[in-house]
Amino acid sequence: MEWSQIAAVAAAVVLFLAFLAAVCGYLVFRMAIRRPVKPKPESKDPRKIERKAIREKNNAALFALHPEDLSLTTPDGLTLRAWFLPAAKPSKRFAVCVHGYKCNGPDEFSHMMPFYHEMLGYNYLLPDNRAHGRSEGKYIGFGCLDYKDILQWTAYLVERFGEDIEIILHGISMGAVTVMLANANNPPPQVKLVIEDCGFTTLVDEMKANLKEKTRLKLAFLIPLGSIWCRLIAGYRFEDADCIEAVKKAKNPVMFIHGASDTFVPTGMVYRLFEACAAKKDLLVVEGAVHAYSYYDAPELYREKVTGFIAACTGSV
C-alpha cells in the first residue's frame, strides 16, 4: 500500500472517530439536559413506591389550602410557573423552595409545607424550574440558567410585597446548586440566607461520579464533548455549574445539609463545599440518609438545625 493510500485511510479513521466522539457528546448532552418527553416508568422499588405515596398525600394537603397559581416571563421568552401559599397570618417572611433534577415544586417540597408555612408562619413559594413541571423550556439549566430565574422570582416578591420582606432560598439537589449560584450572583438584600440540601460541588464532578457509578467505564472524556453541545444549544457549559467557586463568593450565610449515605451526589462533596464557603455557615449530615431523604429520615433534627440557623442569621424565626 502506498503512503498516499495509508494517509487517506488514516484521515478517514480520524474523521470517523471525530464524528463518533461528536455523536457521543451529543448523546451525553441530550440525555442530561433535554427535557424528558416521556414520563418515567413506574418504579418497583418499595421505598420509592412508599415515597410516592407520601408525596401524593403531602401534595393533597398543599392543594387543599388552595395555593395561588403564579407565572412570569423570562428574558428569553419562557413562561415559568409557581405555586404560592400565603402565610395564615400576614408575614413579611418568605421561603422560596427550589426543586431538583426532573422533579417539580410540590413533589419536592410539599412535605416541608407544615414546617415553613404552619410552624414558622412563612409565605411559601414553590417554583417549577424551566423544562420542569408546568414551566416552559426544552433544556434543563442545572442551576446555570435557573439561578437567574430564581432571582427573577425574588424580584417579583419584592415588587409585590415590598422592600421590607425577608427571603430564604432553600434548594434540594439541583435546586441546591441553583440557590448556591444565586447567592453568588448579587441576590437582592431581601435574601437573608440560603439552605442547600445535597447539592454537588461541580456538574463535571457530578457527571463523572454518575458515569462511573452507572457504567463502570471510564467515559469522563465524553463530558467536555457534551459541554460543547450544551454551550451551542442550551447556552451554558457544564463547567459553569461550579458551586465550589460559588460558595467562595457567597453573599449570605449558607446551611449545608447532606445524607451520609448519598451515592447519587457523593457525601464527600458537602465537606468540600463547607470548607470552601466564605460566609457564615453550618453543616448537618444525616446518618443513613440517601439522596434527598434527609428531611424524611430525620425531620425533627432537620427542623431543629434549620430553625437554629435562621435564628442565628436573622435574630428570630
Q: What is the pLDDT along the chain (317 residues), one digit of tens a residue?
A: 566 666 655 666 556 555 666 777 788 888 889 998 777 777 777 877 888 888 999 999 999 999 999 999 999 999 999 999 999 999 999 999 999 999 999 999 999 999 999 999 999 999 999 999 999 999 999 999 999 999 999 999 999 999 999 999 999 999 999 999 999 999 999 999 999 999 999 999 999 888 766 655 566 778 998 999 999 999 999 999 999 999 999 999 999 999 999 999 999 999 999 999 999 999 999 999 999 999 999 999 999 999 999 999 998 77
Distance CA 113, CA 109 (A): 7
Q: What is the pLDDT of residue 121?
A: 97
- Amino acid identity of 130? R
- What's the confidence (pLDDT) of residue 21? 65
Q: Domains of the chain: which residue ranges?
A: 45-202+241-314
Q: What is the pLDDT of residue 221?
A: 78
pLDDT attached to residue 46:
80
pTM (two decimals): 0.92
Tell which residue, 36, 147, 134, has the closest CA to residue 82: 134
Q: Which of 150, 273, 160 is nearest to 206 (CA)?
A: 273
CATH architecture label of 45-202+241-314: 3-Layer(aba) Sandwich (3.40)
